[in-house]
Amino acid sequence: MHGFLASSIGVTCAAALALPLTLPAAPAAARPGGLPETGAPAVPGGTQSLPLVPLTTDRPLGSPAVQGLPRRDVRRFSMIGLIWDDPAAELHGDVQVRVRAAGTGTWSGWQDVETHNADHAADPGTEERASARVRGGTAPLWVGDSDGVEVRVRATSEAAAHGDGTEAGPREDGTGADVRAPRAPLPPGLRVELVDPGAAADTPADTPAQGTPAASSRLGTLSPETTAASEPNAGLAPLGATEIPELDRTATERELLTLAVAELTEEQRAKPKIGPRPRIVTRRGWGANEKLREKTFIYTKKVKAAFVHHSATGNGYRCSQAPSVIRGIYRYHVKSLGWRDIGYNFVVDKCGKIYEGRAGGVAKPVMGAHTLGFNSNSMGIAVLGTFDSARPTTATVKALGRLTAWKLGLHGADPSGKTYLKSGGGNLYRKGKNVRLNVISGHRDGFATQCPGRRLYAKLGSVRGYAAYYQGRG
Q: Which of 96, 16, 97 lies closest to 58 in space, CA to CA?
A: 16
Query: How far is residue 58 from each of residues 7, 55, 67, 97, measured CA to CA in Å?
Result: 21, 10, 12, 22
Contact indicator for 440, 311 with CB cutoff of 8 Å: no
Q: Which of 43, 62, 44 lies closest to 54 in space, CA to CA?
A: 62
Burial 295-324 (b: 16+ CB within 10 A, else e): eebbebeebbbbbbbbbbbbeebeeebbbb
Contact indicator for 55, 24 with CB cutoff of 8 Å: no
How far apart are the C-alpha atoms of 427 and 205, rounded to whole Å? 46
One-character DSSP codes across 43-62: SSSEEEEEE-EES-----SS
**Bigger pLDDT: 65 vs 433:** 433
Average pLDDT on 403-408 reads: 97
* pLDDT score, position 82: 97
Q: Which of 40-44, 147-151, 164-168 is predicted least confidently? A: 164-168
**Bigger pLDDT: 346 vs 27:** 346
* pLDDT score, position 184: 76
Q: CB neighbours of 437 closer than 8 A, spacing ≥ 6?
A: 305, 374, 418, 419, 420, 421, 445, 446
**Bigger pLDDT: 54 vs 65:** 54
- If you average pLDDT over every residue of the chain, what do you get? 83
Q: How confident is residue 62, by pLDDT bands cut at 50, 70 and 90?
A: low
Q: How many Å is the Cα radius of gyration of the chain?
A: 23
- Looking only at the bridges linking them, the beta strands covering 93-101 and 178-179 are unpaired
Residue 80: strand pairing partners: 141, 194
How far apart are the C-alpha atoms of 61 and 397, rounded to whole Å? 49
Q: Which of 297, 421, 411 lies closest to 356 in space, CA to CA?
A: 297
266-303 pLDDT per residue, tens: 887 788 899 999 999 999 999 999 999 999 999 999 99
**Bigger pLDDT: 184 vs 393:** 393
* pLDDT score, position 105: 96
* pLDDT score, position 117: 67
* pLDDT score, position 218: 46
Q: How confident is residue 211, by pLDDT bands cut at 50, 70 and 90?
A: very low
